[in-house]
Structure 1
Amino acid sequence: MIRLEVWGAYACFSRPELKVERVSYDVMTPSAARGLVEAIYYHPGLRWIIDKIYVLSPIRFTNIRRNEVKSKVVSSAAKGVMQGNGKPLYLAASQDIQQRAAMVLQDVHYVIEAHFEMTDKASPSDNPGKFQDIIRRRMEKGQCFHQPYFGCREFPAHFRSWEGATVPAIGETRDLGLMLYDMDYADPANITPIFFRAKLEQGVLSLDHCEVFR
């Protein structure tokens, strides 16, 4: 088991039901927490499972406006260029730009409690002790494969290992409703979102034995 302290100025864990303007969940989602841990250490021989998310700072929202592109390069366009159709394969930001509002979290601070399970892709030389030593060393040295972020890449996350015996979570309890748990990639042609009934208990979002919905 590891405990990872993460903090940053802004975060946006977008609700999938609100597509036009981005609105963040009140608390970091389990999939965002998993992605953050994987940014520090990922290996095909292990699978990260998030156990708890501790909220250390009061939940605060703020509104911002950002410039975004409204289009994306689709696979059919890339395939056409590979076949020599001569069309350009790029997006001109000055022509495709649009301004969108977003309701994001401000001054976020969490402790992620997680553990990993070995997968069938682990090599004979891999073992839990080896992986545990690697992840702890990387957390202590601040090493990562890419910059961790809170939902959007423009919201970077700072991190370090949490060494305290207890975690001083905020003493707040609230029903968070249905929250995105993760995505099911078992069938690449039919990727399915997984949701769960989330509740913050004394500042802790516990994921032990939570009931999920597809």
Structure 2
Amino acid sequence: MKNQIDFLLTGRHALFTDPITRIGGEKTSYHLPTYEALKGVCKSIYWKPSIIWYIDRVRVINPIRTQTKGVKPIKFNESGNDLAYYTYLHDVAYQVQAHFEWNMHRPELEADRIDGKHYSIAQRMLDKGGRQDIFLGTRECQGYVEPCEFGSGKGAYDDVDELGYGLMFHSFAYPDETGLDALHSRFWQAVMRFGIIDFPKPTDNLTLDAQNGMPSRFVRNMSAKDFALDNNIQSVSQTEASL
């Protein structure tokens, strides 16, 4: 089935937060976009609970540059604002190649596995810039998407054979994608070769993921949200009447 999309992702700033640098309220971005952040972009373009997006690879187009800004986040323990410094990526551009597969942990949505339907909708939504707002890591970093041919044009790191970035956050293992009533976080050793990062594909088997170089860590207990076909929480007439 047709299930792959290529798109150009751009933005003035990006903040793919490194959890190690968040101690004390400061935030510093990874130099590379995380798998989970790119997956979130795909879900903002188009998503249904019957499909799962997988990021195949990403190509870095613009040079990696950072910019530090003073911000005033809200204090959680008292009223008022605090002062912190966030280090963003500046003027980013990426070519992303991704595909979706059926979510086999959603047997109640089997009737929605229609070949061609979701691909056609995803392509239309990509042409329109996404169904929802696109964010580059955090809400304050607005992103923009448009169709492209992966590998086209000149990239800033096309001639660099290899750059290693050490241990990075990869993605979350959500209950509706693993069948487990728990949330786990995955990590991996990130490497960029000739400007391209090839992401390992996560599975619903965390032990197998660890054997493939993606160790995971338990975060908390969590259960999957229930969905059903042709079952709206509130009808359209009720929604309009409440407006």
TM bracket, shorter-chain basis: 0.7 to 0.9
> In 2 relative to 1, CA 148–194 (structure 1 residues): closer, same or farther, beyond 3 Å?
same
Structure 2 residue 113 is the aligned partner of structure 1 residue 149 = no
> In 2 relative to 1, CA 165–185 (structure 1 residues): closer, same or farther, beyond 3 Å?
closer
Larger RCO (CA within 8 A; separation ≥ 6): 1
Rounded Cα–Cα distance in structure 1 between residues aligned with 2:184 and 2:130: 32
> In 2 relative to 1, CA 191–119 (structure 1 residues): closer, same or farther, beyond 3 Å?
closer
Q: What amino acid sits opposite 1:211 in the alignment? A: G
Partner residue, 1:79: none
Please report the TM-score for the alignment, with normalisation by the length of structure 2: 0.73
Please report the TM-score for the alignment, with normalisation by the length of structure 1: 0.82
Q: Deviations over 1:126-181 (max 9, x none)?
A: 3231111110111112241x211111111100110114663533323311111111
Partner residue, 2:6: 3
Partner residue, 1:27: 32
Partner residue, 2:19: 16
* SS of alignment partner, residue 67 of structure 2: strand
Q: How does 1:30-109 map to 2 (within 5 A)?
A: 30-71=35-76, 95-109=79-93
Structure 2 residue 192 is the aligned partner of structure 1 residue 200 = yes
Question: Contact between 2:7 and 2:150, CA under 8 Å: does it hold in 1?
Answer: no
Rounded Cα–Cα distance in structure 2 between residues aligned with 1:181 and 1:50: 11
> In 2 relative to 1, CA 165–111 (structure 1 residues): closer, same or farther, beyond 3 Å?
closer
Q: What amino acid sits opposite 1:197 in the alignment? A: Q
Q: How many residues align?
A: 191
User: Greater helix share, 1 or 2?
Assistant: 2
Rounded Cα–Cα distance in structure 2 between residues aligned with 1:138 and 1:123: 23
Structure 2 residue 147 is the aligned partner of structure 1 residue 161 = yes
Aligned partner (choices 173, 180, 202) of residue 184 of structure 1? 173
Q: How does 1:112-123 map to 2 (within 5 A)?
A: 112-120=96-104, 121=106, 122-123=109-110
> In 2 relative to 1, CA 128–208 (structure 1 residues): closer, same or farther, beyond 3 Å?
farther
Q: Deviations over 1:102-128 (max 9, x none)?
A: 111000000111011101333424323
Structure 1 runs of 4+ off > 4 angstroms? none
Gaps of 5+ in 2: 202-211, 217-243
> In 2 relative to 1, CA 53–164 (structure 1 residues): closer, same or farther, beyond 3 Å?
closer
Partner residue, 1:75: none
Partner residue, 2:94: 110
* SS of alignment partner, residue 21 of structure 2: coil
- Identity rate, percent: 25
More displaced, 164-173 or 131-140?
164-173
